[in-house]
Structure 1
Amino acid sequence: MKKDEVPQDESNLASANIKDMVYAVDENGEYTTELSTGWAPKTIALDNAIQIIEERIADAKKRVLENKTSPIEYYMEVHKMDLQILASYVGFWKWRVKRHFKPSVFKKLNNKKLQKYADLFEITIDQLKNIDA
């Protein structure tokens, strides 16, 4: 595409002043780089991904409030992590973190373990225990 044809569609990233570098052909027929705020297919894909993330967060919050999972799972979703990443950051085996998702196990966790999660999520232990705080 030509340099003056590089798409500049508005997207969530554009409002955050984030731009992609793309290759384009300049007036001399040479390849050069140009900044783009996005284009329609990318905007649609990003919007869909954000919607899925928001749904996962809402579902996790609902499950915490229904006492079906612990707040750790909710904060994992809020911080866009998966079980593997969360486990590696807190230094626990995946099976242990998954076990900490059980409300009965979560309630018995000592402050040292809770503090690891709280530090990772940049919240207090109180906030970790109560997602509405």
Structure 2
Amino acid sequence: MKKSEVPQDKSNLESANFRELCYAVDENGEYTTAHTTGWDPKTIALDNAIEDINQRVQDAKDRVKNNQTSPIEYYMEFHKMDLPILASYVGIWQWRVKRHFKPKVFQKLSNKTLQKYADVFEITIEQLKNLKHAN
């Protein structure tokens, strides 16, 4: 796109006084950088993605409150991780991490294992065990 056509739509970037860097073609046909405050299609897509993430976090929190899953799943969603990422961060196989989502299994975890999760989520073991401390 031409530098003069770089969109300047309203977005969250504009309200925070940020501008995104993108590439455009100048009047000489050369690629150059240009700043944009936003682009409606991109803003809509990002807003939808954030809404989906927030819904997944809330669903996980509800499942914890209903004793259908452990707080590990909630904190995984809250930190925008998936099972493979979390497993690699804590150094535990995926099938074991998934097993730790079961409330009965979670209650029997050692402090050493709980500390691995707490370190990844940057919380204490007490906060991990007690979801009411969650944001």
TM-score (norm 1): 0.92
Partner secondary structure for residue 32 of structure 2? strand
Question: Which residue is equivalent to 2:26?
Answer: 26
Number of positions where the alignment pairs a residue of Structure 1 with one of Structure 2: 133
Measured after TM superposition, the shift of residue 18 of structure 1 is: 5.0
| Structure 2: stretches of 5+ with no match in the other structure | none
Identical columns (%): 74
Identify unmatched segments of 5+ residues in structure 1: none
Moved more, 24-33 or 102-111: 24-33
AA aligned to 2:36 is S
Written as runs of structure 1 = structure 2, the 5 A alignment for 1:6-21 is: 6-16=6-16, 19-21=19-21
User: CA shift at 1:13, angstroms?
Assistant: 4.2
1:111 corresponds in structure 2 to: 111
> What TM-score, normalized by structure 2, do the two folds share?
0.90
Q: Secondary structure at the match of 2:35?
A: strand
Aligned to 2:84: 84
The aligned counterpart of 1:37 is 37
Q: Secondary structure at the match of 1:115?
A: helix
SS in structure 1 of the partner of residue 81 of structure 2: coil
CA displacement at 1:131 relative to structure 2: 1.2
